[in-house]
Structure 1
Amino acid sequence: MEQSAQNYFSPENRVAPLGIVAMNGAEELSDKIEAHLVRWARRAGMEVDSFRIGCSCPRFSSGDGKGILESSVRGYDLYFVVDVGNYSCTYKYFGQENHMSPDDHFQDLKRLIQAAMGKAHRLTVVMPLLYGGRQHRRSYRESLDCAFALQELQNMGVDNVVTFDAHDPRVQNAVPLMSFDNLMPSYQVLKTMFRAFPDISTGREDFMIVSPDEGALNRNMYYASVLGVELGMFYKRRDYSRVVDGRNPIVAHEYLGSDVAGKDVFVSDDIISSGESMLDIAYNLKERKARRIFTYATYAIFTNGLEAFDKAYQEGVIDGVFGSNLTYRREELKNRPWFYEVDVSKYIAYFISALNHDMSVSAMIDPHEKIKALLERRRLELSKEAGAQLSF
């Protein structure tokens, strides 16, 4: 893949000049993406230092704002990188410091799209954490935030939306004529886990996948299929006679599946919000004599703090929590001994490069062959280690 990236940057094959618009709060991820793109472009013989299009969204003291693009974008293939989950961004509102919400980030995105004034060749929004994604369906008299937001982007002239691990990818049905790519960093997760824990064995007798609920079953089925291990699952038993914080409270997590005793267990979900459900599952698995428990969430946001996970780690209940760099992570989280960051910037760079040259992205969306190669390399490494120990 690294070699083929050189072909992505031949000027004659590009759809249009590439421009990256890094929005407020998404600079860290954008810097990493751009570093890959610049390196590949230089290898292909292009003299380029940056693909960045400067931007800003200043605000008046009343809270009103505007979007500004700091250079011409006429004829560009523009990629807006936005992190709607970055609550560390602030602005002054009537003299008070106000933290940006997902609504604020999405509004700024629309401002910058307006600032392009329809002059760009093509508009793509890279929004890993999908705005309104958790409000993906209607129960009772409720809004459909995500579907309406996608329709807004389509009406503004956006051609592509690239997201990761959407809570329910069926929201794309709201915009059937707009490109919607829902990517899964499965290969990057496994690669990071094997590096962090080189002694993990993925044999059927040693390793198992467990889905935290029925909603996460598909992504965990994929891991179980490519690794060739068994799959178990929990389902949430709820009290439908009450509503707490807009939903029926969970009474218990019930387990379905084969015995986890003596096995390492991997649990994958799209988001760790408060983390209560993930911890309940971890304690439940530990009571069932699971050996080690590894959890992964594409968006590890920990809205209720980190203390409960610190306690679980100290008690030996959780051995590792993996989370991507696709949304804002506090420094306290990055420094925790139980947290391992999954870098997805190279994957996004490949995807942007392929789109910029109108190349097929099928292999990137389905990384099955890369995972097979990773597992084969790991099998050879483990067999060499076992041989070395026997000879010793």
Structure 2
Amino acid sequence: MPNIELLEKSMPVAPIKIAALAGCQDLAKEVDKKLVKFRKELVTHNQIGITPQGYSEKTFLVDCECPRFGTGEGKGYIKESVRGVDLFIMVDITNYSLTYKVCGHVNHMSPDNHYQDLKRIISAATGKAHRINVIMPFLYEGRQHKRSKRESLDCALALRELSDMGVSNIITFDAHDPRVQNAIPLKGFDNFFPTYQFLKALLRSVPDFKPDNDHLMIISPDEGAMSRAVYFSNILGVDMGMFYKRRDYSTIVNGKNPIVAHEFLGDSVNGKDVIIIDDMISSGESMLDVAKQIKERHANRVFVCTTYGLFTDGLAKFDEYYEKGYLDKVITTNLNYRDPELLTRPYYVEANMSKYLASIMDIINHDVSVEKVRSSNTKIIDLMNKVRNN
């Protein structure tokens, strides 16, 4: 069990419970299994023999739902007591596979619908739970994080609203811009990165992967992903390059300025494996263009690592580029909903985050520093040493 010595020296804030909204239940069940295992190991390891009430259970999941009326209106319903518990509410706002009926018409759940359901469950628990924590891997409206013209600031408004509703901590992964936490300076906002899980998934799926400067290079597909690429390259000790997007600022298409070209800055990638790292694949247009240009510069293999695989325009273009040899692996986490078709693709690799998420929840429930789980430097260095020694 991770961090066992740190946890056995501290006491939990309150009994832990997990309320998983529809669309996030598969991930929640995996996290629950890991957390149950962690708690059993800690109880076994504990020599004192003092175990707080509700500390080790067969499951920590709470039965809850958000049923809807024929008009599309809904309500939050928690089917068991949450009084005095440390409640973790899990929500995946990107799960469009769920549907509901409005006057007989079928609607797919949008991020707005999921966010509204989140507030309903918070409302059902407020005043009863000891503390409320929200686990929202893909941050609601995270891409609308700054105002450039006469625009709304949706992410900041949502964070303020959750804070006003009594949420103590918001846990997210790879926020598009973590500075949005400035909207709630007196509340907990923890942003985690799946760097270690990316490397583990890559090493398992590519047996001859060589993480050294002679065989590997890290690429940032745009300016926004620079910090991720810099960290990745520094921890592995390899070179880094970047693309920047040249846009046409005279027009707006689908709410954004269209990209005219991707320009590359960096050393030669000739003969090297390349990791392109970013926070998400939305339509995938930019990522595919970067992968193609890297291949045209005679890179060996191209691996794409992104926290969220949304694939809003489908998989056909990725299938085409894989068949043409422009990309070799696409690695995303299981933090958001993925089309079942994606899981069958030969180029797709999952970076499982359930163990990491369970460890984060365990640490927060014990009210100790999350830096122990936030920083993956030691684990990555140990993993790289094992690979290089072998």
TM-score grouping bracket, smaller chain normalisation:
over 0.9
Residue of structure 2 in register with 1:390 after alignment = none
Write the distance in 2 (CA, Å) between the matches of 1:47 and 1:289.
54
Mapped pair 1:301 → 2:310: yes
Unmatched 5+ stretches in structure 1 = 382-392
**1:7 touches 1:44 (CA, 8 Å); kept in 2?**
no
The more displaced of 218-227 and 358-367 is 358-367
Distance 2:117 2:250 in 1: 40
Give the direction of change, closer, same or farther, for the CA distance of 1:320–1:237 in structure 2 (3 Å limit).
same
The one of 132, 141, 149 equivalent to 2:141 is 132
1:212 CA displacement: 0.1
Distance change >3 Å, CA 351–CA 306, structure 1 → 2: same
- Hey, what does 2:217 align to over in structure 1? 208
CA apart distance, 1:4 = 3.5
**1:276-317: per-residue Cα shift (whole Å, max 9, x none)?**
101100111111101100001111111111111111111111
Shift of 1:34: 0.3
CA displacement at 1:7 relative to structure 2: 6.8
Cα deviation 1:77-107 (Å, max 9, x = unaligned): 0000000000011111111121110000000
Contact 1:29-1:345 at 8 Å conserved across structures: yes
1:59 to 68, 71, 89: 68
In 2, Cα distance between equivalents of 1:163 and 1:331 = 24
Task: Write the distance in 2 (CA, Å) between the matches of 1:52 and 1:16.
Answer: 15
CA distance in 2, matches of 1:30, 1:237: 40
Write the letter of the residue equivalent to 1:76.
V
Which residue of the other structure, out of 23, 26, 43, is the alignment partner of 1:25?
23
Q: Deviations over 1:255-290 (max 9, x none)?
A: 000000100000001110111101100111111101
- The answer to whether the Cα contact below 8 Å between 2:126 and 2:166 also exists between their aligned partners in 1 is no
1:109-152 CA distance string (max 9 Å, x none)? 00011101311111100000000011111121111110000000
| Correspondences of 1:192-271 after superposition (within 5 Å) | 192-271=201-280
- Offset from partner CA, 1:203-229 (integer Å, 9 cap, x none): 211100010000000001000000000
- Confirm whether residue 359 of structure 1 aligns to residue 353 of structure 2: no
**1:13 partner amino acid:** M
Partner of 1:387: none
Q: Matched residues in 2 for 1:93 and 1:35: separation?
A: 36
Mapped to 1, the partners of 2:148 and 2:218 lie a distance apart of 31
Matched, 1:40 2:49: no
Q: Distance in 1 between matches of 2:82 and 2:229?
A: 42
Partner of 1:71: 80
**Structure 2 gap segments, 5+ residues each:** 44-54
Matched, 1:169 2:167: no
Number of the residue aligned with 1:188: 197
- SS of 1:182's partner is strand
Read off the aligned partner of 2:211 and give its amino acid letter.
Answer: T
Distance 1:291 1:13 in 2: 51
CA-to-aligned-CA distance 1:291-345 (integer Å, 9 cap, x gap): 1000011111111111111111111110000000000001100110000001011
SS of the equivalent of 2:228 reads helix
Q: Aligned letter for 2:304?
A: T
Secondary structure of the residue that 1:253 maps to in structure 2? Answer: strand
Aligned with 2:61: secondary structure?
Answer: coil
CA–CA separation in structure 2 for the residues paired with 1:102 and 1:241: 29
Find the counterpart in structure 2 of residue 384 from structure 1.
none
Q: Which amino acid aligns with 1:197?
A: V
Q: How many residues are paired up?
A: 379
2:298 alignment partner AA: K
Residue 42 of structure 1 deviates from its aligned partner by 2.0
> Which residue of structure 1 lines up, in the alignment, with residue 166 of structure 2?
157
Q: Partner letter of residue 299 of structure 2?
A: A
Q: Which amino acid aligns with 1:110?
A: K
Cα distance change of structure 1 residues 9 and 95 upon mapping to structure 2, 3 Å threshold: farther
For 2:301, the equivalent position in structure 1 comes to 292
User: For the residues of structure 2 that align with 1:280 and 1:42, how far apart are their CA atoms?
Assistant: 48
Distance 1:185 1:266 in 2: 14
SS at match of 1:167: coil
Contact 1:19 1:51 in 2 (8 A): yes
**Structure 2 counterpart SS, 1:296:** strand
In structure 2, C-alpha distance between the alignment counterparts of 1:233 and 1:56, rounded to whole Å: 45
SS at match of 2:167: coil
Q: Would you say the 8 A contact 1:18–1:356 is kept in 2?
A: yes
Report SS of the residue matched to 1:97.
strand
Q: Distance in 1 between matches of 2:133 and 2:351?
A: 24
| Cα deviation, residue 197, structure 1 | 0.5
User: In the aligned structure 1, how far is the partner of 2:227 from the partner of 2:5?
Assistant: 34
Worse overlay, 36-45 or 316-325: 36-45
Task: Report SS of the residue matched to 1:170.
Answer: helix
Secondary structure of the structure 2 residue equivalent to 1:173: helix
Distance 1:81 1:5 in 2: 24
The yes-or-no answer on 1:278 pairing with 2:287 is yes
In 1, distance between residues paired with 2:357 and 2:2? 16
> For residues 144 and 6 of structure 2, what CA distance do their matches in structure 1 show?
40
**Aligned match of 1:374:** 383
